Amino acid sequence: MKSETIHNVEIPKIGFGTWSVGGGSTPKPSEDGHWLSVLRSALELGYSHFDTAEEYAKGHAETLLGRAVQASGLKRETLFITTKVWPNHLQYDDLLGACQGSLDRLAMDYIDLYLIHWPSESVPLKESFRALNQLVREGKVRHVGVSNFDLTLLKEAQTRSETPILTNQVPYNLADRSYAQNGVLEYCQQNDILVTAYWPVKSSSLRLDNAMQAIAAAHSATPQQIALAWLAAQTRLITIPMSANPKHQAENLQAADIVLSVEEMAQLD
């Protein structure tokens, strides 16, 4: 598996997203058995980076991820866990409490990467990073980052953080280049900040693209794998697809090892 090493941290090119795990926007405990099976499959296949958030199923996704990790028997240090704080918890005391809530649900002593999920229009970054910096000093958080930040906010976050901003998590895929067009992607690549691409695959557009179909056939791969391979080929970029299907989970994980030619990358670009 290819990886990105940044600020002495090695993170796989392909991680596992957990939006919809546990119920999507609301918790659905009746589905726990299904989702624990999904997470167990991902762990057994070799996924080591898991991305979640306190907002996913109102915290239930974190709970299920923690249960799956405990049941796996894997050592905590072999995994890289990302979670995110929701905008209504960005005041200093609220953020400290939100982090402890995530730790309790995950049943873990520390979070590898803690992100501001969305910027707030009412809480200044200075206030939020006062808490994030404190969490790093206490060892509850190893690294900090942001999500859905434009270039102006990203630069401000860098000035407020006592440690390097590890990532900006944004929507980015073959059909959505908005964060390349607004300068965020290039800035991150030039300033040692990872871009974490969420929504990495839009299947409907892939099925209708003749060039994509031809490239996929040349690599004995699916169009979805080629879309992920295109992302994995880019420097300072990782991605977090999600699938409940073990076959598709395995295909997603393998996509990082597909080597696209210069000509194929140009076609996709």
47 is catalytic: no
For residue 196, which of 246, 142, 149, 158 has the smallest C-alpha distance? 149
Integer Cα distance of 201 and 184 in angstroms: 20
Name the percent of the chain in helix, strand, coil, to the closest 5.
Answer: 50, 20, 30
CA-to-CA distance for 238 and 252, rounded, in angstroms?
12
DSSP symbol at 141: E
Report CA-CA distances (Å) from 16 to 21, 26, 45, 46, 225: 11, 20, 11, 10, 14
Which listed residue (47, 56, 179, 198) is catalytic?
A: 56
Determine the 3-state secondary structure of 60 from DSSP.
Answer: helix
Strands 237-239 and 49-51: unpaired
Q: Give the residue numbers annotated as catalytic, written as ranges.
A: 56
